[in-house]
């Protein structure tokens, strides 16, 4: 099949690789309808993570079941499914506790930007729609494989409450989905930190009540004014850098929690400040499967339209252009059509 | 008055200092019935914190109101009161949110090991008993000024739940109080990490169902066996060192929270592990006033007897011996009688 592969920093290609096949009874092969590029794909792209030269890349997709292993009984060829980037059996102690991202049989989608993808725990991971969804819904359904579920996880772990103030650090696709999540959860004030007009616009559409274009100390000042000197009830850290984390802790009110979902890179946590102000940290890799039924319902009933984060759609052939566009922040998030 | 003062590392004296006086309408002066030495007093004692030579030391006490400022209306001379180490107005936004330790008018007891102590926000901070308590209750009431409330805070922020497993890292007085708190909150398994027989005994009395004398990797192994490979539902970190924190995160199950109350010294948080396993961190300086009414009730009805952590009582004259005994771990916690 044709699949996106990475060979070195900034060297993204479309290569012919072996088709995924069923090797375990829990496997399923998915024919990808749509995949996309994740902010976290940019870490290896920028050379900040190790690269296994020639390996496939891409962990977000939706598609149609092509073939299933013998233990997969709830899905059959032809089903349209959302594929959580983190595969889980949904039966182990960690899954039952709602932490499917720490499943004892954890697996990951490895070729989401490709013609086919393998799911290692299909029965526990996949969620299907009733029949083929309308093409207009595909982008929003695709976000449920990672980005929307991750933004939702940030809001859940930050403890967003109805009537409270939620601050979202990061205006990437995850941050924007975090804005949407905080809005749906009923936060009265939803503050998006963003200096980019197209992102501000989506943030507003997703329910941001305030936009703060400032950074660092100036951002903290602006947020303290918005919260009347108290600080935010919940902070969603959707970047993963030290600067973003510092801002998150600076604006959290005493007793609040920073919900973090950006893969941490070079982060040093301000533990003294956390201690003195009782500001907690929670979050991590999103247990996508946990949120899927609820999020699918919200998409299908039209309550949320997270697919708006895709501002560029490219055929698989041009996937390298998609990486460049995201790297240069010309695109928020790129949908790839195999 | 006579008060404990610190002059250099390991140089504790009893000195004549000025009596505290009312200088603000929110002040009260307390005649100390009993004070005590805190594990955190050992940081300056050991030279690991800065020392303001000749300053008074000691932040835990109970006593009798001697004099009150004009705005203190709920207390009058003769009332027996518990003095939270962290003074709060109990009316600001942070107090109303239950984070009295971040009160906008925060103050601290500065001469708890002395004849008199000043409370800067008496109305918001103090809690009184009905009449003079029986002498046998004084030790337990004294623990409510800090150590028991702090152990309780560890359990609250770790999210101890009825039927769950709680692991307590640290067998100092705070850790032992954490054991008691987890037990009272209904944890089915309460695991105390302790290698010291007298402390193990108190832990058992306080409700520990398991004692783990091992440390580091061996402790983790033992705890994984106790939790059938899953890890602890809640972890109380009651030390503040990097080693204790590492153990805490090693034994927390995915999705759990480490509740930390030990003043952090040289702690480096394992943020990658936190991310991958969704293990959160919460806690900090205890909002003592928040818990006082509930804890006072538990002491008065005989449900808890945290005063057992005091295994040495000394007159103020011998306070330096008390520091030595705690520093050398010959005593768990020392009660000082002025």
Q: Which of A86, A88, A281, A289 to mutate to test the interface with B (most CBs of B within 10 A)?
A: A281
B290 min Cα distance to partner chain A (Å): 13
Q: Which pLDDT does position A183 carry in this prediction?
A: 98
Q: Where are the beta strands (DSSP E) in chain A?
A: 2-8, 11-16, 28-36, 55-56, 60-68, 80-83, 86-87, 107-108, 116-119, 127-128, 165-169, 189-193, 210-212, 232-237, 252-260, 280-283, 312-315, 334-337
Query: What CATH number should be reported for the domain holding residue A291?
Result: 3.90.180.10
B78 touches chain A (CB under 8 A): no
SS3 A155: helix
CB contact under 8 A, A255 and B94: yes
CB contact (8 A) between residue A282 and residue B282: yes
Q: Quick one: B9 and B115 in the same domain?
A: yes
The last residue of one of the domains, among B283, B300, B328, is B283
Tell me what the mean pLDDT of segment B134-163 comes to. Answer: 98
Convert the pLDDT of each residue in A172-186 to its tens digit: 999 999 999 999 999
| Mean pLDDT for the stretch of residues A233-261 | 97
The pLDDT score that the predictor gives to residue B74 is: 98
Res A297: pLDDT? 98
- Which residues, numbered 261 to 320 in chain A, qualify as contacts with chain B under a Cβ-Cβ cut-off of 8 Å? 263-264, 267, 269, 271-272, 274-285, 287
Interatomic CA distance for residues B295 and B310, integer angstroms: 18
Chain A nearest-CA residue for B257: A282
On whether both A140 and A159 belong to a single domain, the answer is no
What is the average pLDDT value for chain B, to the nearest integer?
Answer: 97
What is the H or E stretch that residue B157 is in? helix B147-158
pLDDT digits (tens, 9 = 90+) for A190-207: 999 999 999 999 999 999
Q: How many CA atoms lie within 13 A of B304 on its CB side?
A: 32
For residue A240, give its domain range. 150-283
B302 and B240 in a common domain? no
Say yes or no: A109 and A47 in one domain. yes
Per-residue model confidence as pLDDT tens digits over B54-67 = 999 999 999 999 99
Q: Say which residue the tokens 């946590």 belong to.
A: A269
Same domain flag for A41 and A68 = yes
Q: Are residues B95 and B199 in the same domain?
A: no
Q: What is the pLDDT of residue B272?
A: 95
Output the pLDDT for position A157.
98
Kindly state the average pLDDT of the residues B117-127.
98
Report residue A312 as tokens: 């560029």
What is the interface size between A and B, counted as CB pairs within 8 Å? 106
Rg (CA), chain A: 19
Residue B283: the pLDDT is 98
* B230 and B255 together in one domain: yes
One-character DSSP codes across B219-278: HHHHHHHHTTTS-EEEEEE-S-BHHHHHHHHHHEEEEEEEEE-SPPBS----HHHHHHHT
Assign B3 a pLDDT band (cuts: 50, 70, 90).
very high
Contact B198/A at CB under 8 A: no
- Write down the ipTM of this complex: 0.96
Q: Give yes or no: residues A120 and A28 share one domain.
A: yes
What is the model's pLDDT at position A232? 98
Which of residues 31 through 70 in chain B touch A, CB cutoff 8 A?
none
CATH code, domain with A191:
3.40.50.720
Which of A243, A263, A283 is a domain's end point? Answer: A283
Percentage of chain A beyond pLDDT 70 is 100
Strand B334-337 vs strand B28-36: parallel, antiparallel, or unpaired? antiparallel
Looking at the fold, whether B239 and B269 belong to one and the same domain comes out as yes
- Asked whether residue B8 falls in the same domain as residue B137, the answer is yes
**pLDDT single digits (tens) B219-246:** 999 999 999 999 999 999 999 999 999 9
Note whether A271 and A297 are same-domain residues. Answer: no
Q: Which of B283, B298, B316 is the last residue of a domain?
A: B283
Question: For chain B, how many structural domains are there in total?
Answer: 2
Q: If you average pLDDT over residues A242-266, what whole number do you get?
A: 96
Taking residues A330-338, what's their average pLDDT? 97
| Interchain pair A285, B264: CB under 8 A | no
pLDDT digit string (tens) for B280-322? 999 999 999 999 999 999 999 999 999 999 999 999 999 999 9
Identify the pLDDT of residue B337: 98
Does one domain contain both B152 and B260?
yes
Tell me the per-residue pLDDT of A16-41, one tens digit each, with 9 for 90 and over. 999 999 999 999 999 999 999 999 99
CA distance B256 to chain A (A): 9
CB nearest B255 (choices: A99, A253, A278):
A99
Chain B residues in contact with A253 (beta carbon < 8 A): 93-94, 97
* Contacting residues of B for A269, CB less than 8 Å apart: 269, 271
Could you tell me the pTM of the whole model?
A: 0.97
Mean pLDDT, residues B24-33 taken together: 98
């Amino acid at each position: 099949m044709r699949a996106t592969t990475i060979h070195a920093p900034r060297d993204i290609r479309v290569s012919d690789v072996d088709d995924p096949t069923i090797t375990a009874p829990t496997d399923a092969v998915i024919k990808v309808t749509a995949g996309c590029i994740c902010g976290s794909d940019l870490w290896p792209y920028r050379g900040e993570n190790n690269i296994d030269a020639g390996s496939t890349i891409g962990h977000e997709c939706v598609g149609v079941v092509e073939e299933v292993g013998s233990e997969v009984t709830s899905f059959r060829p032809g089903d349209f499914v959302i594929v959580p980037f983190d595969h889980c059996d949904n039966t182990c102690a960690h899954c039952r506790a709602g932490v499917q991202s720490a499943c004892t049989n954890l697996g990951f989608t490895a070729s989401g930007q490709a013609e086919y993808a393998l799911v290692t725990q299909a029965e526990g991971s996949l969620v299907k729609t009733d029949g083929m969804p309308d093409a207009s819904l595909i982008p929003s359904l695709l976000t449920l494989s990672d980005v929307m579920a991750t933004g939702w996880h940030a809001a859940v772990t930050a403890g967003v409450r109805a009537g409270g103030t939620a601050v979202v650090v990061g205006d990437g696709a995850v941050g924007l989905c975090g804005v949407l999540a905080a809005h749906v959860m009923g936060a009265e004030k939803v503050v998006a930190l963003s200096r980019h007009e197209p992102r501000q616009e989506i943030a507003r559409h997703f329910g941001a009540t305030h936009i703060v274009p400032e950074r660092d100390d100036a951002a903290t000042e602006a947020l303290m004014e918005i919260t009347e000197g108290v600080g935010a009830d919940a902070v969603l850290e959707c970047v993963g850098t030290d600067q973003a984390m510092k801002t998150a802790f600076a604006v959290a009110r005493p007793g609040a929690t920073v919900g973090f979902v950006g893969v941490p890179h070079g982060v040093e946590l301000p533990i003294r400040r956390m201690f003195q102000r009782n500001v907690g940290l929670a979050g991590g890799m999103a247990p996508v499967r946990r949120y899927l039924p609820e999020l699918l319902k919200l998409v299908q009933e039209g309550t949320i339209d997270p697919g708006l984060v895709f501002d560029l759609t490219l055929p698989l052939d041009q996937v390298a252009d998609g990486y460049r566009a995201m790297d240069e922040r010309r695109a928020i998030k790129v949908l790839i059509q195999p």
